[in-house]
Structure 1
């Protein structure tokens, strides 16, 4: 089943693909312009849906004890392909298998060995399963890059609405990130209301700042970068313009 992605999901996947170990939820949140909690929630959803299948190091096997990496191009019958792929993955030394939909060879098997003798042993184990090896090559180096079309840095214009939920009783709950230069940035909630920056049917529920959840009060100051959760009731206007987005006039 296909899982539909939005721009936030895509950008999170892009930054995880670049370096999942060094990109924390807070780091990704800075790029995506959402709260760190939103990033954590989205990652959990992507994991549960099977979009993110795991986190694996990219290993340079040649540097690791001078190991050899070999790529086997193989053919199988279409009806047995998946079963044979799963069996081949159990062979010691086999680290990756790809099922190919087009072309003559329909399995690409990557194996690691200490020397050519061990690679030959792996090849025999593959053929013993009934898989035909059509061609094989030693891999010198592998180059990888994240899918660049998932990178949406700077693509969002205006205030970034990062999560949205419709509630019963004609109400909506949304999270919005305060941008630099927004009218509300640097003002207390009392000042925001006095300056008509917030509709009377808009209630600030929480403010998240640096991974800390703040319970808002009248004297609470809203700052750029805050992730503000709003409750919109009735006919509240969801078009916030420069209230939360950049472009306010001096």
Structure 2
């Protein structure tokens, strides 16, 4: 763009070029256009890039300069010389614009602010997930303790008759396998719907594949194994004579 430009020359992105019904950038160069009430000439076309968050699709963009509009600039800095570079920039700014406040921020911080609400939502979901897992573990442990007490005599008889440790553990495991299956069948559609609704807020989204639910099943089984395993093994290894006498 011309150094003496005062807002009469425009740089367009590819999306804006398509809005002008121009098939090629070369055909648009030099074309006079009127954008937002300002008359100018197209002097260049840049590739589409994201200037907003991924919540929004790429929109038509017109880049224009104006001497009276200068308020900020972008500077690439070597991270190894960050402090001296910032000090030099501030010194230069204050020497040229002594009456204007000097402020700076980093591009990665600006990008992070695009997704501040998403990060807060993620932390909230993680916190509730941890609470739900703890409550679930306590519930499973209490339930297996109750079932072990109810099946005390049955376990003793089975062991006297030669039942193996595996069969005793399966006696407890099948009680929870059905419950876990029912819980997954009920929760999976709700989780899929909730995730789909959240992803609809993004112009560019990933698809929810079967791998997500497969991983959920594995985590659920692991949590159940940790919660139920200890009490089940303890009940399976108890002295059958003592349990039968107690009954």
TM-score by shorter chain over 0.5:
no
Give the structure-2-normalised TM-score.
Answer: 0.23
Give the structure-1-normalised TM-score.
Answer: 0.22
More helix by share: 2
The structure whose Rg is larger is 2
